[in-house]
Amino acid sequence: METATMVGRADQSGVDIIVPSSPSSGRQKRNRQRSLVSYKDDREVSLPELRRHTLGLDRNQPLPTSLQSDFIPSELLFALTEISPPQEQLGPPSKQKRSLTVSQSIVKKSPANMWNFPTQREKYRHLTDSTPCICGAGQDISFLYDVHTTNKKSEKPNLGDESELRHGEADDTKHTIQLPDTLIPKEYHIVKNKGVLGLDYFEDKYNLEVKDHEKHLVLFPSMQPTTRYEVLQLRKTMFEMLEKIGVDDETEEVKGPTQMHSLLELMKKEQNIYNVIFHELIRQVSVQCIERGSLLAEVRDRYSKLLSRVPRQIKGLHEEVLAQRALDRRLTEELLRFKTTISFLTSELTEVKGHDREVTMQANQALDDLKTALAESQRNAALLAEYHDLYELQRQRLERQVGILSSEKELWSTAAYSLALKVTEEHSLNTAKRLHVSEKAWAKLANHFTVLLSDRDTEVLIKLQSFADTFRDILDSFSQKSVQHERNVREKLMNVMGEMHSMKQDFQKNMFGKGGELQNVPDVEKVTKIYSDIKRWGIVFSDEMERFGGESLLSGQDTLRRVTAQVEGWTDCAIQLFSRHNVEGATEHPNHAGMLRITEMVEEVVAQFQVRISGENGVAARLITLGNSLESIENKMSSGVHGANPMLDQEWMGFYQQLDDWCALIDAALKLLGSTQKEDAEEAPKPKIAVFDVIRQLQRWLSTSVAGIDSEDAKLVEAVTNLHTDMVQWMVHMLLRLAPNRKDASREAREALLLSTQTMGKVNRAPVCHWVKCQKFTKYVTG
């Protein structure tokens, strides 16, 4: 540290005149000046080598060169560098002027011989490091600034060259003052507002006065504390720091989420304060004994680590307590919920018990009612059994009576038939006999042909139903397959169109500029990907084109031919049935028009399916165009991928434009997919006929036709029975009229006999009606 010294010059009269010397700028200059001091050879004093500090004060205007080489008396230099006596209280140095009486003789002992040895001087170094300011002002050596200096070996200057000395003085720099190595915060440092510079010279010839310093003096914490003042100040600092964090303040609000968090935070702050105080104490103890301080520091670290585990354990325990509290709270909530559930179930149980009592009462009452009803039902059952027995007796009696009457009727019928035959034989009524035989044979034949016609109609109806069922199954299955195939084709085309749109967007983003010009040609990897996509698209279009002209088309046409064959089969069956059951006064059967209408619908559906499976609706043409275009682009890219002939920029532009054309073709194919109108058809488009409507119309017509045929067969049987009864009745009346009367019969007997017969006019007209009916029936059956 730089010091202010007094340089003495002896005049010719032997009186020492004191003048201020310039402040030294470095250790080399001080050593040089000390080496130049000589005041008699036998009284030369050797001073201990002072420790160099680099925090010297800058002097802008050095003293004249003539004063830099003057000799300094050793007594004066020793007095100026002597350590001041210790004060009871630390503070700034006194500002009183001190005059030096140079005429007074100075008697000082020479320094002890130990100062001549570096090892001995190092032991008492603390006696020389006593300056209380860290900025370099005051006494000559500072003990508060302890900086690690590297021992640089500097070249020895030329003492005879004054310019070199001035140059060394100008090179001194001012360094930044650093605080002591302590953990005590800056707000608790004790600083003095005034420091001292080197001694300055005033007009008063023999007086010196210190000058105020711009910077401060740090008194606490000291780097080498030697008095009780540092301990008392450290205690005061500790209590202030504890009071600041509020250790003893019980009314402080809880700042953390819980009181435990606030306590742990306070413990951390308090532990940090204790750590700082311990650190300062150990540093103060280390001044006297480094080993004791090191041991205390180790103990303090161990104890700090031990105490640092306490908050963690407390925090862990606190978290466990909080978890346990949360668990207890949850269990309490569950318990309350359980209690609420139990109370609710108890109330429900009470209600159920009340309802059970009511139900039990109702059940008992119902049981009583049931017993009463059971008793009454038993009585009714007994009465019903009696009625049943009575009914059985009555039924048996009636059955016996009916049997007797049937026997009598059969007997009388046989008797009447026998009498009629006897009368016929007796009176030779051969015509009546032939009529009876003919009627009986006709009735038998009519019944036979009626049954035969009904059986054949049943066979034809079964065949007609079989044709209709087969037609329905084939057409429904073919329609579902066609719809599923069109759905798959639509999905494939939409996927291909989506990939084309993505490729187009990629081209616009990465290969074209804002003006639409081609800037970047696709690299090999991208070209390979585009080539694989186009090849895959071509395979998709090729597969679909094969469906429009390969085995799929032949299979679909074969299925449609089978459908047409089924239609022809049921048409033949229906015509056969309708020809047997002609309606009188009508040119055709009523269900014949319905059959023709269904046949036309089926033909239209077959034609529509033929258009759809062959692709004549425009889908095949667009797919063929797409396939051919893709094939040409694929051939161009194939040579480029294999490195033979890469595509040019114009070809890439053409490919980009073709993407739009392909998307338009695919969009048109999607719109035409499922269409039933031919692309080149000139007539107006016909409405699409649904397969479900055709099958529903067919089923309705089939049900109507079968019911009509069965009804007509039943009417034929009824007509044969009615005609047989009418002819038998006419024959009875005719026999009564043809039989001769007895001569001895009374008039009343003859009139009573004629009362049960028809008149002669009716009897004569009846054969004509019967003949017409028989002729019509025979013609209907044989026609």
Which pLDDT score, from 0 to 100, does residue 383 have?
92
Identify the bridge partners of residue 98 per DSSP, sorted by sequence position. 208
Cis before 221 (ω within 30): yes
Distance CA 604, CA 560 (A): 12
First to last CA, the chain: 152
Phi, psi for residue 22 in degrees, rounded to 5: -70, 145
List, for residues 719-752, the tens digit of each pLDDT value: 888 888 888 778 777 777 776 666 666 677 666 6
Of 365 and 729, the one with more pLDDT: 365
Dihedral of the alpha carbons of 263, 265, 267, 269, in degrees to the nearest 10:
-150
| Residue where the block lists tokens 């009612």 | 369
Most confident of 8-22, 23-37, 602-616: 602-616
> How far is CA 438 from its chain centroid?
95
Most confident of 338-342, 621-625, 763-767: 338-342
Phi, psi for residue 743 in degrees, rounded to 5: -70, -35
Which pLDDT score, from 0 to 100, does residue 154 have?
46
Across residues 65-92, what is the average pLDDT? 49
Most confident of 389-398, 531-540, 552-561: 389-398
Q: Quick one: what percent of the chain has pLDDT higher than 90?
A: 7
Residues 698 and 689 sit within 8 Å (Cβ to Cβ):
no
At 523 the three-state DSSP class reads coil
Per-residue DSSP letters for 161-195? -HHHHHHHHHT--PPPP---S--S-GGG-EEES--
Q: Which two tokens stand for residue 701?
A: 């017509």
Which pLDDT score, from 0 to 100, does residue 643 have?
65
CA angle 690, 691, 696 (to 5 degrees): 105
By the 10 Å C-beta count (0-12 exposed, 13-18 middle, 19+ buried), 173 is classed as exposed
Most confident of 43-47, 176-180, 346-350: 346-350
Asked if the model's pLDDT at residue 99 lies above 70, the reply is no
**353 falls in which pLDDT band (50, 70, 90)?**
very high
Across residues 609-630, what is the average pLDDT? 80
Quick one: which of 620, 629, 628 has its CA closest to 489? 620
Across residues 347-358, what is the average pLDDT? 91
Asked if the model's pLDDT at residue 665 lies above 60, the reply is yes
List, for residues 620-640, the tens digit of each pLDDT value: 778 888 888 888 777 777 776
Identify the bridge partners of residue 218 per DSSP, sorted by sequence position. 191
Number of Cβ within 10 Å of residue 729's Cβ equals 12
Distance CA 706, CA 147 (A): 125
Which pLDDT score, from 0 to 100, does residue 350 have?
92
- The H or E element that residue 323 is part of is helix 290-426
Across residues 662-669, what is the average pLDDT? 83
| Residue where the block lists tokens 């009486």 | 101
Distance CA 278, CA 293 (A): 10
Residues 83 and 127 sit within 8 Å (Cβ to Cβ):
yes
Which pLDDT score, from 0 to 100, does residue 389 have?
92
Asked if the model's pLDDT at residue 166 lies above 70, the reply is no
List, for residues 227-286, the tens digit of each pLDDT value: 777 778 888 888 888 888 877 776 666 566 677 777 777 778 888 888 888 888 887 777
What is each CA distance from 446 to 433, 440, 724, in whole angstroms? Answer: 20, 10, 9
Which pLDDT score, from 0 to 100, does residue 261 have?
73
Distance CA 198, CA 138 (A): 7
Across residues 80-99, what is the average pLDDT? 46
Which pLDDT score, from 0 to 100, does residue 393 have?
92
Helix extents (H) in 615-690: 619-641, 649-672
- The H or E element that residue 7 is part of is strand 6-10
Here the contacts of 483-490 (C-beta below 8 Å, separation 24 or greater) are: 483/674, 485/547, 486/612, 486/673, 486/674, 489/544, 489/673, 490/670, 490/673
Most confident of 380-394, 420-434, 465-479: 380-394
Which amino acid, residue 593?
A
CA angle 494, 498, 500 (to 5 degrees): 115
List, for residues 500-524, the tens digit of each pLDDT value: 888 888 877 777 766 666 667 777 7
